[in-house]
Each structure stands twice: as structure tokens, then as C-alpha cells.
Amino acid sequence: KQEVTQIPAALSVPEGENLVLNCSFTDSAIYNLQWFRQDPGKGLTSLLLIQSSQREQTSGRLNASLDKSSGRSTLYIAASQPGDSATYLCAIALSNFGNEKLTFGTGTRLTIIP
């Protein structure tokens, strides 16, 4: 059974700093890995999707990497802003005849201090 771990559970950093969020998984036979953002009381918003054949994806100040052999992914946020404060979740997709079910980590709650 795939297990997804995110450590630390919470992180506080001063505004302007670069930071890295971590995600580890136990089974390397993944279809893709996704990073989501969740604001308090809201649903999830997709940030980046890395296919199993890819090593990284970038969107603006965000860069996500994937190392299947070590079972790790990182989400790098450059020049952090208070608006980046949210909970970040990673999720692993396993493919079964086109139905891509997700297994989620428990998330890292990020606070950017102005």
C-alpha cells in the first residue's frame, strides 16, 4: 500500500526567503505526483503535476522535483510572500485503466511571516 509522508507538519519562514517542502512515498511505481494548495476552509487547488517520466515541473515561483528511485519529491518556493501561506499537500496517482486514484500526504502548513 502506497504511503505518502510530508515532514514537517508546519513551517514558518520570513517573507522573501526561498523554501523547500518535502514529500516522500513508499512505492516507486507511480503514475504521477501532484502538489496541491489548500487555503483554510477551502478546497484544494492543483499547483503542479509531474509525470513519472519527468524529473521536474515549474510554474512561476514554484518548482517541483521528482526522484522515483529515492521515493522523494520537493516543492521549491522562491521569494516567498505572505500570500503563499497555506497548507501544501502532495498526492501520488496510481493508474488503473485510466482511473487515476490519488493517495494524499497529510500536508505541510506553511506560514510566511511579513
Q: In the complex, which residues of this chain contact another protein (CB under 8 A)?
A: 4, 31-32, 34, 36, 41-46, 49, 51, 89, 91, 98-102, 104-107
Residue with smaller CB distance to another protein, 70 or 95 = 95
The least CB distance from residue 18 to another protein, in Å, is 25
User: What Å distances lie between residue 34 and 17, 71, 113, CA to CA?
Assistant: 23, 14, 26
By CB neighbour count within 10 A (0-12 exposed, 13-18 middle, 19+ buried), where does 49 fall? middle
Q: In the numeric block, which cell numbers belong to residue 25?
A: 512515498
Residue with smaller CB distance to another protein, 4 or 19 = 4
The least CB distance from residue 19 to another protein, in Å, is 21
Residue with smaller CB distance to another protein, 53 or 69 = 53
